[in-house]
Amino acid sequence: MDQINSNPAIKHGWLRAILIIIPFFIVSGIFQAIGLILYGAITGTLDLQNLQNVNMSTGFRLTTQFTGMLGTLLIVWIFARFIDKRKFVDLGFSLKNRGKDIFYGLIAGIVMMGLGTIILQVNGNLTIDSIHFAATSLLQSVFLFIIVSVNEEVLVRGYILPNFMDSMNRYLALVLSSLIFTALHLFNPNVSFLGITNIFLAGILLGIGYIFTKNLWFPLALHFSWNFFQGPIFGFEVSGTDTDTLISQSITGNELLTGGKFGFEGSLLASLLCTAAIILFWYVYKKQDFRLQNA
């Protein structure tokens, strides 16, 4: 790894991973507040005395998520540069020979969401009510979920996971980073126990490639694909949050199977699909790692 200095300012990687969490919340919160004010100033909808009634449109979320992402990138850059003494790009942004990882991530999200939708429809739990194509809305959603994936992946997989890996076995580091990823979603709307369990499984899946490659393109592509096809395309809530959708659908039946108001992520189907994908990509990246070590 091309480091600015081989000796981090804080010796223990696990400590560096923990120490970034509170500054992340502070800086990201400040930048999201800036985004709220900016959106309100542009649209003329800002009412500081009535924030609970703020317009939760895609445009609003896009603005606040974008400024929040800037805050995340800033705090991670500061920690990488001055605490870890490494270049920001070395967190896993190298594109060399990573086209396959991007392809794997995009296809995995499409396949899992598509399979889940088909199974629910065949089982009679899902009915497609209408299909409404709105190019502007879909384009906004593309940018929104790119930003969401960058925001979470740079922090959790780009900074926290490799620092845990500096202190412990890669699999333990993966579990601990996934627990932190899960904690970031504890206060999502309509959260459920199964939903949180699946967020943890998603954290394992998103990190399974990184522990072998130390590269972010697989989790970035998968995170985007999972969210985008879950919400804007197939019409589920995304971690409990509504989005503008291409397909409007109705869900009925046992929430253990359908996920209920938390969305597909709250279903047993998601549990099974995530587990299968974890096994598949562990095998793929473990085999790739073995080949590289014995080349």
3 part of a folded domain: no
Q: Which residue has the tokens 């199977």?
A: 257
Q: Distances from the Cα of 90 to the Cαs of 101, 154, 289, in angstroms?
A: 17, 11, 19
238 part of a folded domain: yes
36 part of a folded domain: no
101 part of a folded domain: yes
32: left (phi over 0), alpha (psi -120 to 50) or beta: alpha
Q: Distances from the Cα of 55 to the Cαs of 4, 29, 59, 172, in angstroms?
A: 44, 18, 9, 41
Q: How far apart are CA 26 and CA 35, in angstroms?
A: 14
Number of domains, the chain: 1
Tell me how crowded residue 15 is: count the other CB atoms within 10 A of its CB. 14
Helix, strand, coil distribution of the chain in percent, nearest 5: 70, 5, 25
289 part of a folded domain: yes
Question: By residue range, what is the domain housing residue 102?
Answer: 89-293
Q: What is the pLDDT of residue 143?
A: 96
Candidates 9, 17, 8, 6; CA nearest to 164 is 17
196-205 pLDDT tens trace: 999 999 999 9
Global confidence as pTM: 0.92
- Distance of alpha carbon 265 from its chain centroid, rounded? 12
218 part of a folded domain: yes
165-205 pLDDT tens trace: 999 999 999 999 999 999 999 988 888 999 999 999 999 99
134 part of a folded domain: yes
* pLDDT block averages, 10 residues each, the chain of length 295: 67 97 97 91 68 64 95 98 95 94 97 96 94 92 96 98 97 98 92 94 97 97 97 90 88 91 93 97 89 67
Q: Each residue of 68-85: b (16+ CB within 10 Å) or e?
A: bbbbbbebbeebbeebbe
9 part of a folded domain: no
